Chains A and B, each alone.
Chain A
Amino acid sequence: MRFEYAPAPESRSVVTLRDSYGLFIGGQFVSGSSVFKTISPATEEVLAEVTQAGPEDVDRAVAAARHAYERTWSVMGGRERGKYLFRIARLIQERSRELAVLETLDNGKPIRESRDVDIPLAAAHFFYHAGWADKLSYAGFGPSPRPLGVAGQVIPWNFPLLMLAWKIAPALACGNTVVLKPAETTPLTALLFAEICQQAELPPGVVNIVTGDGATGHALVAHPGIDKVAFTGSTEVGKEIARICAVSGQRVTLELGGKAANIVFDDAPLDQAVEGIINGIFFNQGHVCCAGSRLLVQESVADELLTALKRRMERLRLGDPLDKNTDVGAVNSQAQLERIEAFAATGAEEGAERWSARCPLPDRGFWFPPTVFTGVSQAHRIAQEEIFGPVLSVLTFRTPDEAIVKANNTPYGLSAGVWSEKGSLILSMASRLRAGVVWANTFNRFDPASPFGGYKESGFGREGGRHGLEAYLDIHGTSVLGGSDV
């Protein structure tokens, strides 16, 4: 049985796009050396022209951030800094529909997600950190923790505004100024955020936004005027940044890839587990570093679960991201689509069995149907490497020990899921999984008060909560108990 839905598109009229966007440096939009276009991945229409920041533009941005750090932001009281962050949180809330539509246009994610997840969480992140700004001496990092200086921040395209919030809010709360580079394919909400900084009358130079590709990112993280590097993205680039910072001595936090195991025991409530699996791998088209991309299901319920999972996958609605009924939107770029297609081909070549939901794909834009591979072995590339798309690899296990060994058999360690009705089993699994976030009987939940980040090659440092402040504070020579400082 199929349910037909009438289209229910969210109006684009709430967004006014400019033809061309400059760089946001020193509180003003300024022109740069060259431009590139950003498109809607759902339709391939050009949305706007954006400036490619060259090394000299990055120089200017870093200088503006340094000036603002020394003259304004680091000497301003925490209470005043906090008030600016509260303002920003409120402005994001006020302009939330506009931001949500713009995010969906530029990224391809369903409006339901940008409206209900990305933008509210971004506002919450600023609100949460605003309150820290004048309470840092109580955060457990010594009696008077100092900011680091200028932070160079590079963020990915999967949650553009939310990742911006994760980077900028703690940096500013701790008294740092920032130069942030949004992803090449999703610069628009960061540029709208620049307008929000203007509306908030944030002192010029405290936040600087430089758009561009990987070359811009490299110029930023390798810039000698940067005191702190924060990066969210691929493990491959993360390692390169770690090498740069190893020599430069800059502080660095990295939030990188993942290959999370989502483990379903035979006593789990299977209907809830199916919803969790769907949310785990098809949320945001699987463009999620902590996606539950490996399903480990106990052998005795594997058939039942997979039948229910496929039935549910057939009900996923793929299409116009602006439609309020859409579950699965567009893949963010042609390059990412090709990467997903290559992995899917590899999975089949290596002997796993592919099944995709039968959903019509739009003619224009970049699309990939929700897909599940069964008969996957641990040696398969689709069980080892991060696909970053709506592709689930299914493995089975018999005992908790086997599940742990398989779940931990990866260089990554970002997240994991456990589904069971047995509390003691959940807690023992949670403590044995080598992952920074464990979702038990839920998946893909985020909150500004909840530390997020990975073990092993998923990166270092945490974002969110009290723990996340450490990344933006100079804590050398201090300790909780005062230590050698006292």
Chain B
Amino acid sequence: MSELTVASEAGRIAVRKTYKLYIGGAFPRSESGRSYMVSDYSGGFLANAALASRKDARDAVVAARKAFPGWSGATAYNRGQVLYRVAELLEGRRAQFATEVRMATGASPARAATEVDAAIDRWVWYAGWADKIAQVRGSANPVAGPYFNFSVPEPCGVVAVLAPQDSALLGLVSVIAPAVVSGNTCVVVASERRPLPAVTLAEVLATSDVPGGVVNVLTGAVAEISPWLASHMDVNAIDVTGAPGALADDMAVAAAGNLKRVVRLPAGDWEAEPGIERMTSYLETKTVWHPLGN
């Protein structure tokens, strides 16, 4: 039995956790009643995770859409504080996440701790962006006429995120935070074989100040769930990082059905500074004109 469930002294029967989905701020099982076995890096049993269905994906989109007006309408300062709060709560659970990362990937304790720390720092990094991206990406435009004209970035809406398969925590944080920092809401499909850190991260989000529905987490088969998100007419963008090449192509084609913004950035080193391209991929630019005069 893995260390996840025996983190207690010999002789005591551990209380195991049920890993469920995270939709609209609640932790439901899959409506399909299905689950799948999640193994650790060496093949040992870790847990049964929910095997999300098409209906779960659609429910998650509905929850994300419902959360969008409130989250995108919050002040940037407020969103920044909420993201920082996530870092605060993660900090308190460093040991738990390090264990989960270690069990998922087989990383050494030091390596796992480094990844967890980087994930926490990533939330802090993005928290600081919340009230800066508009100044970096917005502008006052000198038009040739008596008009006041300015451009501001705005969130594009509901984002489907296929989280990276390899980096179950740092990679996950690195694809969620750039979507939500600017006011988007998202539906995340966790790493298929390493979904447990995503569910535990959902617990952190649920107990921080992130409103329900802003981040929704699905676990299950990427190839099964993602086509329903890629073709969903109320999803505005999709990050296909977690889809293998051929599936990513298919998702990009399906996404054209309602002209979703498709994010296909080169797989990079998750520990490097992210840059702003992932963040700006989810931004629209709105330009407002008004006449000058009396």
Instruction: Report A's interface with B, CB cutoff 8 A.
Output: 124, 140, 235, 238-240, 242-243, 246-247, 254, 256, 411, 413, 426, 430-431, 435-442, 445, 447, 449-453, 455-457, 459-460, 462, 465-467, 475-481, 483-484
Residue B151 at the A interface, CB < 8 A? Answer: yes
A274 to chain B, nearest CB (A): 16
Q: Assess whether B277 is in contact with A442, with CB atoms less than 8 Å apart.
A: no
A239 CB contacts on chain B under 8 angstroms: 256-257, 259
Known: A442-B289, A476-B277. A447 touches B145 (CB 8 A): yes
17 more CB-based (< 8 A) A-B contacts, given A438-B286, A456-B259: A239-B257, A242-B259, A246-B252, A430-B288, A431-B286, A437-B289, A439-B289, A441-B290, A447-B143, A447-B149, A450-B149, A451-B151, A453-B285, A467-B285, A476-B265, A479-B276, A481-B275
Compute how far the CA of A455 lies from the CA of B283 in the bound complex, rounded to whole angstroms: 10
Contacting residues, chain B, for A453 (C-beta < 8 A)? 285
**Given the complex, which residues of B lie within 8 Å of A476, measured CB to CB?**
265-266, 277
25 contacts between A and B (CB under 8 A): A240-B256, A243-B256, A246-B252, A246-B255, A436-B284, A436-B285, A438-B289, A440-B288, A441-B290, A442-B290, A450-B143, A450-B287, A451-B151, A455-B284, A457-B259, A462-B285, A467-B151, A467-B285, A477-B266, A477-B268, A477-B275, A478-B275, A481-B276, A484-B268, A484-B275
By beta carbon, the residue of chain B nearest A241 is: B256
Q: Provide the residues of chain B in CB contact with A477, threshold 8 Å.
A: 266, 268, 275
Distance of A440 Cα from B293 Cα, bound (Å):
13
B275 in contact with A235 (CB, 8 Å) = no
Check A445 against B259 for contact (C-beta < 8 Å): no
Which B positions have Cβ atoms within 8 angstroms of A? Answer: 136, 139, 141-145, 147, 149, 151, 154, 156-157, 233, 236, 249, 252-253, 255-259, 261-262, 265-266, 268-269, 272-277, 284-291
Q: Which residues of B contact A441 (CB under 8 A)?
A: 290-291
Closest chain-A Cβ to B145's Cβ sits at a distance in Å of: 7
Is the beta-carbon distance between A247 and B156 smaller than 8 angstroms? no
Contact of A442 among B147, B157, B262, B269 (CB under 8 A): B147
Give Cα A475–Cα B149 distance, bound, in whole angstroms: 26
Cβ-closest 4 pairs across A and B: A483-B275, A479-B275, A246-B252, A242-B256
Partner of A235, one of B259, B272, B277, B285: B259
B139 near A465 with CB under 8 A, answer yes
Best-buried of B252, B273, B275 by chain A (most CB within 10 Å): B275
Quick check: B253 and A247 within 8 Å, CB to CB? yes
Closest chain A residue to B147, Cβ basis: A445
Cβ contact within 8 Å between B289 and A436:
no
How far, in angstroms, from A460 to B236 measured CA to CA in the complex? 11
CB distance from A8 to the nearest CB of B (A): 26
* Complex Cα spacing A477 to B265, Å: 9
Q: Which of A235, A247, A435, A438 meets B252, CB within 8 Å?
A: A247
> Chain A contacts of B157 at CB under 8 A?
456
Let me know if A426 and B268 touch, CB within 8 A: no
Contact yes or no, B275 A456, CB < 8 A:
no
For the complex, what is the distance from the CA of A242 to the CA of B276, rounded to whole Å? 24
What residue of chain B has the Cβ atom nearest to residue A452's Cβ? B287
Look across to chain B and name the residue whose beta carbon is closest to the beta carbon of A459: B259
Chain A residues whose CB sits within 8 angstroms of the CB of B141 once the complex forms:
447, 449-451, 465
* Cα-based distance from A440 to B154 in the complex (angstroms): 18
Question: Which residues of A are found within 8 Å of B275, using beta-carbon distances?
Answer: 477-479, 481, 483-484
Residues of B within 8 A of A238 (CB): 259
Q: A449-B143, A467-B285 are in contact. Are A455 and B273 (CB under 8 A)?
A: no
A465 with B151: in contact, given A436-B285, A477-B266, A481-B276 (CB under 8 Å)?
A: yes
Max chain A C-beta neighbours (<10 A), residue from B157, B285, B287, B291: B287
Give the distance in Å from the alpha carbon of A140 to the alpha carbon of B143 in the complex.
Answer: 20
Contacts of A481 in B (CB 8 A): 275-276
A470→B79 CA distance, assembly (Å): 27
CA distance A240 to B256 in the complex (A): 8
A453 CA / B151 CA spacing, docked (Å) = 11
Instruction: Find A246's partner among B144, B151, B256, B290 (CB 8 Å cutoff).
Output: B256
Tell me the bound Cα distance from A140 to B286 in angstroms. Answer: 18
A445 touches B145 (CB 8 A): yes
Query: A465 vs B152: C-alpha distance in the bound complex, in angstroms?
Result: 13
CB-defined contacts of A451 to chain B, threshold 8 Å: 139, 141, 151, 285, 287
Question: Would A447 and B284 be within 8 Å (CB), given that A254-B259, A456-B259, A480-B136 are in contact?
Answer: no
B272 near A246 (CB under 8 angstroms)? no
CB closest residue in chain A, given B252: A246
Per a CB cutoff under 8 Å, which of B252, B265, B272, B289 touches A440? Answer: B289
Q: How far is the CA of A438 from the CA of B288 in the complex (A)?
A: 5
State whether A442 and B276 are in contact (beta carbons under 8 Å apart), knowing that A465-B151, A484-B268 are contacts in the complex. no
Distance in Å from the Cβ of A249 to the closest Cβ of chain B?
8
Instruction: Provide the bound-state CA to CA distance between A202 and B141, in Å.
Output: 30
CB-based nearest A residue for B259: A457
Q: Is the CB of A436 within 8 A of B286?
A: yes
User: Nearest chain A CB to B83's CB is how many angstroms away?
Assistant: 18
Establish whether residues A449 and B142, one from each chain, have CB atoms under 8 Å apart when the complex forms: yes
A438 to B143, CA, bound (A): 15
- On chain A, the residues within 8 Å of B274 by CB distance are 483-484
How distant is A400 from chain B, measured CB to nearest CB, in Å? 14
B-chain residues with CB within 8 Å of residue A435 when the two chains form the complex: 286
Please report the C-alpha to C-alpha distance between residue A426 and residue B156 in the assembled complex, in whole angstroms.
21
Nearest CB of chain A from residue B276's CB, rounded to whole Å: 5
Cα A210 to Cα B246 with chains together (Å): 34
CA distance A294 to B131 in the complex (A): 35
Closest residue of chain A to B272, judged by CB? A484
How far does the alpha carbon of A455 sit from the alpha carbon of B273 in the complex, in Å? 29
Residue of B nearest to A460 (CB): B261
Bound CA–CA A426/B288 (angstroms) = 10
Contact pick for B273, options A411, A413, A447, A484, CB 8 Å: A484
Of the candidates A243, A442, A459, which one forms a contact with B253 in the assembled complex, judged by CB atoms under 8 Å apart? A243
- Residue among B136, B144, B255, B268 with the most chain A CB within 10 A? B144
When distances are taken between beta carbons in the complex, the residues of chain B under 8 Å from A455 are: 156, 284
A269 and B58 alpha carbons, distance in the complex (Å) = 45
Smallest beta-carbon distance A310→chain B, Å: 25
Q: Which residues of A contact B257 (CB under 8 A)?
A: 239
From residue B74, how far is it (CB to closest CB) to chain A in Å?
Answer: 13
Chain A residues near B143 (CB, 8 Å)? 445, 447, 449-450
Complex Cα–Cα for A478 and B259 (A): 25
Task: Determine whether the beta carbon of A246 is less than 8 Å from that of B249.
Answer: yes
The interface residues of chain B lying within 8 Å CB-to-CB of A484 are 268-269, 272-275
Q: Which of A441, A450, A477, A484 has the most CB of B within 10 A?
A: A450
CA distance A441 to B149 in the complex (A): 12
Q: How far is the CB of A362 from chain B (nearest CB, A)?
A: 34
Distance between Cα atoms of A456 and B277 in the complex (Å) = 19
Q: Residue on B with the closest CB to A238?
A: B259
Contacts of A483 in B (CB 8 A): 273-276
- Chain B residue numbers with a CB within 8 Å of A439 are 288-289
